Amino acid sequence: MHKIYFATGNPNKLREAKNILGEVGYEVEQLDCEYPELQADDLETISAYGARWCADRLDRDVMVDDSGIFIETLNGFPGPYSRYVEDHLGNRKVLKLMEGETNRRAVFSTVVGFCRPGGEPRTFTGEVVGTISFEERGTHGFGYDPIFLYEGRTFGELDDFKKNRISHRGNAMRKFAQWLELDPR
């Protein structure tokens, strides 16, 4: 089994990465590397910066993950600021912002950044299109999962196995794993 080092302080992301990449033959080990989060308008730039910063500081190959939910009627908000909005407002206030809105389309996106020391970062994007529910539903997942509807169920209503098969993070990590197979070094 190949080992992937994942710089994250989020135990939920770590659990999902272990499940997703474990299915395709990779062991995921968490690295304690708090990197400065670049403030940018797109996840690719943020993820690439984090991967390069960690790879160069730790002198090893590193994967990072930056995710966001982009709500169409809110002009893509909270997007790359999703974590900040989650920490300071939470799902209930996001739902409050959506009151009276008929366009509830949203895109959940994850960008996996990977870099080798001294190298150029690579990014792998995964997305899933859904809608914002009218209320929180489900006890699974984390973050925006209880308000993100996909085919009639929120991610919060899906267990990890079902969610990982269709999720933004699952899609991004599978792309990353496919690339690793072609460039394993």
Q: Which helix (H) or strand (E) holds 172?
A: helix 168-182
**What CATH number should be reported for the domain holding residue 165?**
3.90.950.10
| Active-site pick, 66, 87, 159, 183 | 66
H helices then E strands: how many in the chain? 6, 8
Structural domain of 153: 2-182
| CB 62 within 8 Å of CB 5 | yes
For the chain, the domain total comes to: 1
Do residues 94 and 145 make contact, with C-beta atoms less than 8 angstroms apart? Answer: no
pLDDT band at 1 (very low <50, low <70, confident <90, very high): low
| Local confidence band at 184 (pLDDT 50, 70, 90 cut-offs) | low
67-116 pLDDT tens trace: 999 999 999 999 999 999 999 999 999 999 999 999 999 999 999 999 99
Extended strands (E) in 21-161: 26-31, 62-71, 78-79, 105-115, 122-132, 148-150, 153-154
CA angle 109, 15, 170 (to 5 degrees): 35
* Beta strand pairing call for 26-31 and 2-7: parallel
Q: What's the whole-number mean pLDDT along residues 117-126?
A: 96
The answer to whether 66 is a known catalytic residue is: yes
